[in-house]
């Protein structure tokens, strides 16, 4: 049985869903910013061994969507995470974050020094400037006509145009999700995303980050993380393996898994391998969890 409800946070209410029971809970942070929990649906398979909790961050999905750009700051999202944890009485906790969700998790760990059982970072960069450089390299491998279409539309501000959306799709199908067709949860996340949040903090696309997080970088603080940490990503992830390898070297005693034939949503593309590695990590940090 799943339980749903709302938590009051600065700016409105956020929606949550709890499922499974037993073990130490796993709280899952979605990407974006503003991309909803729906695309994380394969993580529900972890609920056979523990409680798994999802929530839509303010501004997207089932949560409130206030029209106030002053709310879209990293610090406010950190406070939101802290309040969700407090309201749900998650004294012991494993924390999972994908993409922006992992960035949020890192900021929370570094700034709040919370008591956590473990931290799982999936396709999450520690440096947006590095992400921008490396995504530019990946984009350069796309056909020249595609690159020109993308540049022309972004310079004109016409990123809602179908021609632009068609041009970026090839990049997404190589480096975001390589499944065909895409999972329904991913499609629903695109449909119900909070684009005001995404455009303000990120920008028009995965590889064009011009919003307020464009200078976000915690690379030099990673050695302050003192939580058992698993870094996991796909071979073709836009958060490239070399980036995750560097993070693994900086986070003391952390572990790294690169999943072959997968990209940014490796948990959807190769679910069995992903679940096997995550469950092995959780068994290691939480003795007594069944295999």
Tens-digit pLDDT profile for residues 42-82: 999 999 889 999 999 999 999 999 999 999 999 999 999 99
The verdict on whether 99 is a catalytic residue reads yes
- Split into its structural domains, the chain has a count of 1
d(CA 276, CA 60): 30
Q: What is the pLDDT of residue 30?
A: 98
**Is 92 in contact with 116 (CB distance < 8 Å)?**
no
DSSP three-state, residue 82: helix
Any domain includes 258 = yes
DSSP three-state, residue 260: coil
The verdict on whether 264 is a catalytic residue reads yes
d(CA 71, CA 217): 20
**Residue 149 φ then ψ, to 5°:** -60, -45
Any domain includes 141 = no
Confidence band (pLDDT; 50, 70, 90) for 289?
A: low
Is a pLDDT exceeding 90 seen at residue 28? yes
Look up residue 275 and give its two tokens: 């679940």
Task: Please identify which of the residues 37, 124, 237, 243 carries the catalytic annotation.
Answer: 237
Any domain includes 139 = no
> Tens of pLDDT along 213-241?
999 999 999 999 999 999 999 999 999 99
Task: Please identify which of the residues 63, 99, 118, 124 carries the catalytic annotation.
Answer: 99
CATH number at residue 211: 3.40.50.1820
Any domain includes 75 = yes
| Site of tokens 């695109």 | 190
Look up residue 266 and give its two tokens: 């490796």
Any domain includes 171 = no
Q: What is the pLDDT of residue 288?
A: 60
Give the Cα-Cα-Cα angle 238, 239, 243 (nearest 5 degrees).
140
The domain of 50 spans: 2-129+181-285
**Residue 111 φ then ψ, to 5°:** -90, -35
Neighbours of 140 (CB within 10 A): 9
Q: What is the pLDDT of residue 206?
A: 86
Chain centroid, CA 79 distance in Å: 17
Any domain includes 234 = yes
> Which residues lie across from 19 on neighbouring strands?
2, 52
Total residues belonging to the chain: 291
Is a pLDDT exceeding 50 seen at residue 291? no
Task: Please identify which of the residues 30, 94, 153, 264 carries the catalytic annotation.
Answer: 264
Of 14, 22, 25, 191, give the one whose Cα is nearest residue 96: 25
Neighbours of 207 (CB within 10 A): 22
Mean local confidence (pLDDT), 81-88: 98
Any domain includes 46 = yes
> Tens of pLDDT along 137-177?
999 999 999 999 998 998 888 888 889 989 999 999 999 99
The verdict on whether 45 is a catalytic residue reads no
**What is the DSSP-derived secondary structure letter of residue 50?**
S
Any domain includes 200 = yes
Mean local confidence (pLDDT), 37-43: 97
């Amino acid at each position: 049985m799943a339980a749903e409800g709302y938590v009051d946070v600065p700016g409105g209410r956020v929606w949550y869903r709890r499922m499974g029971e037993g073990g130490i809970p796993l709280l899952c942070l979605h990407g974006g910013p503003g991309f909803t929990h729906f695309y994380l649906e394969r993580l529900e398979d972890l609920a056979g061994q523990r409680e798994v909790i999802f929530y839509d961050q303010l501004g997207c999905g089932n949560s409130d969507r206030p029209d106030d750009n002053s709310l879209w700051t990293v610090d406010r999202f950190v406070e939101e995470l802290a309040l969700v944890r407090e309201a749900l009485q998650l004294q012991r906790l494993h924390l999972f974050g994908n993409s922006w969700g992992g960035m949020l998790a890192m900021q929370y760990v570094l700034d709040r020094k919370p008591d956590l059982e473990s931290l799982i970072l999936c396709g999450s960069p520690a440096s947006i400037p590095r992400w921008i450089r490396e995504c530019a390299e990946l984009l350069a491998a796309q056909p020249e006509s595609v690159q020109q279409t993308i540049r022309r539309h972004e310079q004109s501000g016409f990123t809602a145009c179908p021609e632009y959306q068609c041009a970026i799709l090839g990049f997404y199908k190589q480096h975001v999700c390589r499944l065909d067709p895409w999972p329904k949860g991913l499609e629903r996340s695109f449909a119900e995303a909070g684009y005001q949040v995404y455009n303000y903090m990120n920008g028009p696309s995965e590889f064009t980050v011009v919003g307020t997080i464009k200078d976000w970088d915690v690379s030099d603080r990673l050695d302050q993380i003192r939580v058992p940490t698993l870094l996991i990503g796909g071979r073709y992830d836009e958060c490239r393996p070399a980036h995750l390898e560097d993070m693994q070297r900086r986070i003391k005693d952390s572990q790294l898994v690169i999943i072959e034939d997968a990209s940014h949503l490796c948990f959807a593309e190769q679910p069995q391998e992903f679940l096997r590695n995550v469950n092995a990590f959780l068994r290691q940090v939480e003795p007594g969890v069944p295999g």
